[in-house]
Structure 1
Amino acid sequence: MARPSRKSAAPTKPLLNPPARIGSLDTAAVVCELRQLHEDAEDENIGKMPADDELFGALLYLEANAGALKREEARRTAAIARVKLWEYLREQTDIHQAKAIEHARAAGAAWADLVPPLAVNMPSAAYNKAKRLQAAVLTEASHDKRPVRRTPEAVREAERQAAARAAAERRAEEEAARRHTLLAPVAQRLLEHRAGLDDDAEVTFWLDQIAAVLPDCRTPTQLVSLGTYVEAVVRELRKSRPTAARPTASTAEAQLAYAAAAAYVTGS
């Protein structure tokens, strides 16, 4: 009886069993440990070993001089560390080659121009290989580091999702910038009309905080603090005047200043 054929996974389907990756690695620290092994073994060529941050050159040196390690345990430890470093380098190669392709395309290179560098036979193959490499970039850039399936369809879907996230982040940044633009005038109006608001110790405290930070309010941290102080003023005014029978402000101008601050706080 013929066995039923297994259905292929959809090309955009997320990987159920994502491949293990080295991920983040302090390669200089690992190379430094390997250097110490060679120094302890009195490797006579150790002075020729490249610097700890020159990973590729250091790996070539360690490979060529592996025999300098006399103890079997040291040779085993060093070889395993080299395997890990090469695997890390392989992961990074995909990411940086994909970025080089992106830069080449941005500079006007056609897919046909990338056929020889990518060691493929036709432009369509160069395109598909570039998309597979882009999967590594998208995985690295994702929030959860979830691997992207190495198919053109999956990469296009991941790119669409990344573009949507970037657009949402831009909208959020634009909204934050808009609110920050409104914040200083709102805070200034509260100070200008504080006499019509300021008859409560807590309100006085938060208005004093606004007065202290507003003149030099430029950095994101200062803007966040200023927003917090404005929110606190609105909160305390609402607490101290809980009913319509007790107006929030004693003057029309102060009432308008409070209304503007309350509208800012509620985002309306």
Structure 2
Amino acid sequence: MPRPTRKPVTPTKPLLKPPVRIGNLDTAALIGELRQLHEDAEDPNIGRMPADEELFGALLYLEANASALTSEAARRTAATKRVLLWEYLREQADLHQAKAIEHARAAGTEWTDLAPALAVNAPSAAYNKARRLQAVVLAAASHTGQTVRRTPEAVREAERLAAIRAAAERQAEEEAARRHALLAPVAQRLILHRSSLDDDDEVTFWLDQIEALLPDCHTATQLVSLQKYVEAAVRELRKAERMGALSAATPDAQASYRAAAGLLRDGSHAVRGGHAR
């Protein structure tokens, strides 16, 4: 009976079963545990063991001196942890090699020069290997948690999506900067003339919030808070105006209130649109 034909896999499709990975490890702590095993076994060479932070060198020492462990349980534990740490190193190697290639290319290194370093025989092979390694970098930076398939098509698609995300983030940051440029001066004027606007009640509360936030208002989240505080202050000032409580305010204080109200008119359309009316 003929075997069923396998459907071809779309090159850009994420892996349905991403490989199991070690992930983050406190390698220094694990090396410290292995060191303790050798100290307990009175390893005569333990003074030559590299520091806990020197993972590669420490693993080479532990391998060369494995026979110093006299207990079978200690040998089993140490060997298992060494397997774990070598697997961790293997995972990290792809990521850091990809970054090294990126730095080399940025410094003007040709693919011809990178071929021997990548253990391949041609510039095209070096390029293809670098693209496969880039899948690891893109997967690490992905916001979706999906593993990028190691094909040129998948890498290109992941790079395209990463560029879209980066462009959206830049646009959001630029929009926040434009909104801040409009809103911050208006909020500052309210604070400058607050002595004529304070009512020892709701207006005072919201002006206090504005004054506390203004010096540190940089992020998009802080800007949203600032806008809400200004909207709340304007809302309370409108109530005060209807009750005639603003008649004693100085002309500059009244002008600051009207500037804020004008900017926020029609549901803050002027601020969200990036221009004042």
Question: Please, what TM-score do these two structures have when normalized by structure 1?
Answer: 0.86
- Which aligned pairs between 1:48-59 and structure 2 lie closer than 5 A? 48-59=48-59
8 Å contact 1:183–1:227 — kept in the other structure? Answer: no
Which is further off, 79-88 or 139-148? 139-148
Distance 1:40 1:60, change over 3 A: same
Which digits, 9 at most, give the CA deviation of each residue in 1:214-261, with x for residues without a partner? 4xx14647x96676355234225436757x977996576232233225
- Larger mean Cα displacement after TM superposition, 232-241 or 42-51: 232-241
Same amino acid, percent of matched pairs: 66
Quote the residue 2:122 is aligned against.
Answer: 122
- The 8 Å contact of residues 136 and 148 in structure 1, kept in 2 or not, is answered as yes
- Cα distance between partner residues in 1 of 2:194 and 2:261: 10
Report the CA distance shift for 1:168/1:249 in structure 2 as closer, same or farther (over 3 A): farther
Tell me the equivalent position of 1:2.
2
Q: What's the counterpart of residue 272 of structure 2?
A: 267
Structure 1 residues 152 and 188 mapped into 2: Cα distance closer, same or farther (>3 Å)?
Answer: same
Paired with 2:184 and 2:237, the residues of 1 have a C-alpha distance of 24
1:126-182 deviation digits (Å, cap 9, x = unpaired): 111111111111111122442111111111111111111111111112222222333
Task: Tell whether the 8 Å contact from 1:13 to 1:154 is kept in structure 2 after alignment.
Answer: yes
Tell me the distance in 2 between the aligned counterparts of 1:129 and 1:248: 74
Partner of 1:31: 31
- Give 1:121 deviation, angstroms: 2.1
Q: Is the CA contact 1:231–1:265 (under 8 Å) kept in the aligned structure 2?
A: no
Q: 1:195 to 1:258 in 2, by over 3 A?
A: farther
Query: What is the rounded CA distance, in whole Å, between the counterparts of 1:182 and 1:154 in structure 2?
Result: 42
Q: Which secondary structure does the structure 2 equivalent of 1:116 belong to?
A: helix
Distance 2:216 2:66 in 1: 57
User: Is 2:243 the partner of 1:238?
Assistant: no
Residues 19 and 249 of structure 1: is their aligned pair in 2 closer, same or farther, counting only changes over 3 Å? farther
Change (3 A) 1:36 1:220: farther
Corresponding position: 1:183 with 2:183: yes
**1:80 is the counterpart of 2:83:** no
Residues 135 and 155 in structure 1, CA contact (< 8 A), matched pair in contact too: yes
Alignment of 1:115-194 (within 5 A): 115-194=115-194
* Distance in 2 of aligned mates of 1:218 and 1:236: 19
Stretches of structure 1 that go unaligned for 5 or more consecutive residues are none
Tell me what 1:255 maps to. Answer: 258
Equivalent in the alignment of 2:113: 113
Q: Is the 8 A contact 2:51 2:58 kept in 1?
A: yes
Of 192-201 and 19-28, more deviation after overlay is shown by 192-201
Letter in 2 for 1:228: S
Q: How many residues are treated as equivalent by the alignment?
A: 265
5+ residue gaps, structure 2, are none
Deviation at 1:266, TM superposition (A): 6.0
CA distance in 2, matches of 1:108, 1:146: 32
Q: How far apart in 2 are the matches of 1:29 and 1:205?
A: 51
Distance (Å, rounded) in 2 between the aligned partners of 1:177 and 1:143: 24
Question: 2:208 corresponds to which residue?
Answer: 208
- Look up the SS of the partner of 1:115 in the other structure: helix
- Going from structure 1 to structure 2, the CA distance change for 1:172 and 1:233 (only over 3 Å counts) comes to closer
Report the RMSD for the aligned CA atoms in angstroms: 2.9
- The one-letter code matched in structure 2 to 1:118 is L
